[in-house]
Structure 1
Amino acid sequence: MKKVTIRDVAKAAGVSPSTVSRAFSMPGRVSPETTKRIFAVADELGYHEIPIESRPSSGHRGLIAIIVPDMANQFFTDIVRSVQQECARQDVGLLVCESRESASQERKAFDRAVYYADGVILASSRMPDSMIRKCAQVKPVVVTNHIIRGVPSVVSDISDGMRQSVQHFKSLGFDRVTYLDGPAHSWSAGVCWNELTRACADEGLRIKRHWPGWPTYEGGYALVRDYLRSPTGAVLAYNDMMALGFIAGMRKNGYECPDAYSIIGIDDDIVGKLAWPALSSICRSTRMLGAKAAQMLLSRYTGGAVEATLQSVPTRLVVRDSTGPRSQRVPKGRGVV
């Protein structure tokens, strides 16, 4: 019997050999309809050079995947842990991938994960909306901290936490706030900025924005130089890691909080709680975020398809030692170490 080749499959399916190759090696790069047609033709012709078990499965395998931007960030580590706990409760395995804040690496991780997983959680995805929608056509997808039309999402409602932070700054005597913003491609960064703008307008505070920033300890440290050119005394950072890096940079230049300035982070990570001084922060419940995302994803293949939904998790300000009454302003014109 003549051996069936990739060209035979391509001819019968009405596509090019390269499309057949992509359907088997990177199914996320080919439309779901074309992929299904190619697999059906391959099965009919008996083309099995690529093991059947390596294809994206439509059946239940008892495994889901989660892709996070940065495993060193405690916020994402906590989300992974809460997803793992929910998976264990439902006797499902978990595959963890890291994209290192790269949209292209995230897409590659998704293309690999769909070989094995029944569905994928994209935590704070850095991919464009159109790419996420295409991924959701290949396998069930749930996103966290990112609203995508037609794709189930679990988000933090940052409005309450942001409003409480601005009111706290105002009660301490500040009339201006510096915001250390996150990466340009982050959906949540835009939401945080919009909510901060709204809260400051309501309370009569002015805002100075440093944007974009890198959501890491080093990213916060690097913004000290810009801040000292025009200090405001009150600082709010995109996340706790940026806030801690900023504190370290200010300390190197001879300024301590809350004496010389006050700072609030976002996430309420354990690292911020253990820092000196302990960091005031907007608490986003990673336990609820991860559990809701896992429950939503698992229901899509254990209980049948469900309509795209949006669930939100509330936030609140936790006040610690990094904020205090306005007593002095960081002097302008001082050199930066």
Structure 2
Amino acid sequence: MKTEAGSEKGSSKVTIYDVARQAGVSPSTVSRTFSRPDRVSISTAQRVQQVADALGYHSDMVDSRSGSQGRGLVAVIVPDLGNQFFTGVIRNIQDECERFRFETMILETRESITKERRIVDTVAPVVSGIILVSPRMPDAMIRKCAQLRPLVSVNRDVRGVCSISIDVSKGACQAVDHLHTLGYRSLTYLDGPAASWSGGIRWRQIFSECEAKGITVKRSMPCAPTFYGGYSFAEKYLDDPTGAVIAHNDLMAIGLIVALRRLGCECPRDVSVIGFDNDTMSMVSTPPLTTIHMSLSALGRGAADLLMSRLAGAASSTPAPTVPAHLIIRQSTGAKSDKS
């Protein structure tokens, strides 16, 4: 029997406590595995996910109300329209929706969980389906939203909800290996928003790779995922420099480089910097930015295709599809010097 909470075993549904008991961890660890992946190790996360799969925890897709009332219109909800990553995803979603003769409504949450939920509740009665790009809401709230209309979560894997995300494991491994080859034995991770699921995944992968290579890694406090978020971190970085930085995204990496230059610290002479996204700014920045490429075309079009399939009544893909990432080396990284 299908339920909002997931599959049932016998007469009772599988709960977070069942998963915790079987995996030998606390219920809060199970919760963090799915909503705050940065707070659990890869080995623990894998064990919890394996147990959750075996028990059928949220293995069934959430039942959604029919989207016929809002025929031909899709709501695309993003955290920040000033971020090229999100605008790139939006354009690809629009292109693919147009192919199916659907129009799109673009809405911005400005990183607010409250506003994100309010927007979903407002638009649900008038749209056929909803695409949440990098949603900040907790998993349980996203599942509730998925009951209102067919919904796809982009850049975040939510159990019980149709999702597509980026597999950053290869790109993160390549980035850490690149810095290790250049001679760095310590680095800083410039963190993004605290509520970012993808940011938590990036940190977990980077930390794991650094641990395997004997690299000391420090994590900054959460910062705004903007140029100014990176810019404002420069003085803090210089209080305890590591010689290398991996930033949550390209905008933050470029902001950091600009601020450090004004403080007399040149990239890559004094510090090597790597970003995530490979957006247009990364190619024209000074110096051109070494970054982890993620295909916005595959992510956006894949999300739209998933929603169109849901609207047509097709079953969701299991496991959820992922988009691979890989490192692109440019001039913002160089061999470790005595100064760095």
TM range (shorter): 0.7 to 0.9
**How many pairs were matched up?**
279
Shift, 1:113, TM fit: 1.9
Aligned-partner Cα distance in 2 for 1:271–1:299: 34
**Pick aligned residue for 2:231 from 201, 214, 221:** 221
**1:12-31 residue pairs with structure 2 within 5 A?**
none
Match of 1:70 in 2: 80
Q: Secondary structure at the match of 2:229?
A: helix
Work out whether residues 150 and 308 of structure 1, in 8 Å CA contact, stay in contact via their aligned partners in 2: no
Cα deviation 1:185-241 (Å, max 9, x = unaligned): 111111111100111112221101102111111111111111111101111000011
Partner of 1:95: 105
Match of 2:91 among 81, 84, 97: 81
Residue identity matched to 2:222: P
Is the aligned partner of 1:299 residue 2:309? yes
Residue in structure 2 matched with residue 157 of structure 1 by the alignment: 167
Match for 1:243 among 246, 253, 258? 253
Distance 1:173 1:321 in 2: 16
Give yes or no for the alignment of 1:313 onto 2:313.
no
| Residue of structure 2 in register with 1:107 after alignment | 117
Query: 1:254 maps to what in 2?
Result: 264
Structure 2 length as normaliser, TM-score? Answer: 0.79
Q: CA deviation at 1:306?
A: 3.9
The answer for unaligned runs of 5 or more in structure 1 is 1-31, 37-55, 331-337
Q: 1:263 to 1:307 in 2, by over 3 A?
A: closer
Does the 8 A contact of 2:70 with 2:126 survive in 1?
no
Q: TM-score w.r.t. structure 1 length? A: 0.79
Aligned partner of 2:279 in structure 1 is 269
Which of these residues, 124, 127, 152, is aligned with residue 117 of structure 1? 127
Q: Secondary structure at the match of 1:235?
A: strand
The 1-side partners of 2:139 and 2:128 are apart by 21
User: Is the contact between residue 153 and residue 161 of structure 2 (CA under 8 Å) also seen in structure 1?
Assistant: yes
Name structure 2 gaps, 5 residues minimum.
Answer: 1-61
| Larger displacement relative to structure 2 (214-223 or 59-68) | 59-68
Aligned mates of 2:253, 2:208 — CA distance in 1: 22
Structure number with bigger Rg: 1
Secondary structure of 1:264 counterpart: strand
Q: Which residue of 2 is the match for residue 326 of structure 1?
A: 336
Alignment counterpart, residue 148 of structure 1, candidates 144, 149, 158: 158
